[in-house]
Amino acid sequence: MADNVIEVEKLAARFGSRTVFQDVTFEVRRGEVFVILGGSGCGKSTLLKLLIGLIPPAEGEARVLGNPLNRLHGRPRQQALARIGVMWQQGALLGSLNLMQNVAVPLEQHTKLPREAREAVARARLGLVGLGDAATRLPAEISGGMLKRAGIARAMALDPEILFLDEPSAGLDPITSAGLDDLITTLARETGTTFVVVTHELQSILAIGDRCIMLDKDAKGMIAEGNPRELRDNATHPKVRAFFRREVLEQKA
């Protein structure tokens, strides 16, 4: 039987009387790169927030590592949250701290490790994302791509079982974005970390995704689930076909 790290059943999200999506059901398997995709406003970020328990579901349930995170409180919630890492689109490193100090912040908050040990772990995480030589640089002194890598290193500080990335390639040029895709693929393979990545960049989806779901604003729910390359080749839903085919045609042009 597959080892599921996330199980989502008949999940619905509502703001006031407005339904963003409903009847969303899927699972994420340990070690895979799972992509949540769809056009602007379909609810990708909302789904991410539901998964990590920042907002409660209107209906249904999302269990992450066996726990509905929105229903945990106090110490059990802290313990569950320590097993996942999140990198939001803005990344938000602290400008006054160098990269090593930034990556060490979660270690300071969640562990009793002495400073030298925290810094050693932080340096190791920076090494994992190819920033071993940039540990003492400030966020303002590095490129957009390096900032994303540093954000990933910080999200990995506590050696999470699942890493959630919200639009990691937003604002990056195609070459830097492809480098980040390579990093995600390598980290998933080498560390066994499960990745849940929100993106609408087709190149990235095809490069990194083992499986994906596609949300749709009009359908208010999922319109596709599966391997992205198989969906590109075989999807029959017009919107799914349009998403994968249009961009493929653009790439060939």
Ligand X SMILES: Nc1ncnc2c1ncn2[C@@H]1O[C@H](COP(=O)(O)OP(=O)(O)OP(=O)(O)O)[C@@H](O)[C@H]1O
Only one of the segments 35-43, 72-80, 156-164, 188-196 lies at the binding site for ligand X (rule: CB under 6 A); that segment is 35-43
Closer residue to ligand X, CB minimum distance, 43 or 145:
43
> Quick one: which of 6, 35, 43, 98 contacts ligand X (CB under 6 A)?
43
42 makes contact with ligand X (CB under 6 A): yes
Q: Which stretch binds ligand X (CB under 6 A): 34-42, 146-154, 205-213, 223-231?
A: 34-42
**Look-up of token digits 């059901």:** 25
- Binding segment toward ligand X, per CB under 6 A, in 37-45, 65-73, 184-192, 242-250: 37-45
> Is residue 51 a contact partner of residue 62, using CB atoms and an 8 Å limit?
yes
The whole-angstrom separation of Cα 109 and Cα 113 is: 10
Kindly give the residue spans of alpha helices, DSSP state H, lying in 111-237.
115-128, 144-155, 174-191, 202-208, 228-234
User: Nearest approach, Cβ of 107 to ligand X (angstroms)?
Assistant: 30
Radius of gyration (Cα) for the chain, nearest Å?
18
By CB under 6 A, the count of residues binding ligand X is 10
Pick between residue 20 and residue 107 the one whose CB is nearest to ligand X: 20
Instruction: Print the binding letters for residues 46-85 with ligand X: x by CB under 6 A, - otherwise.
Output: x---------------------------------------
Structure tokens at 16: 């006031």
Smallest distance, ligand X to C-beta of residue 40, A: 4
Nearer Cβ to ligand X, position 17 or 236? 17
- Shortest reach from residue 15's CB to ligand X, in Å: 3
Q: What are phi and psi of 60, to 5 degrees?
A: 75, -165
Angstrom CA distances, 176 to 170, 171, 172, 244, stand at 11, 10, 6, 22
Handedness of CA 130, 167, 100, 158 (dihedral sign): negative
CA distance 44 to 63: 17
Total count of residues recorded for the chain: 253
Residue from 6, 8, 20, 135 touching ligand X (CB under 6 A): that is 20
Tell me: does residue 222 bind ligand X (CB under 6 A): no
How does strand 4-15 pair with strand 59-64? antiparallel
Q: Does 231 bind ligand X (CB under 6 A)?
A: no
Residues near ligand X (CB under 6 A) are 15, 20, 38, 40-46
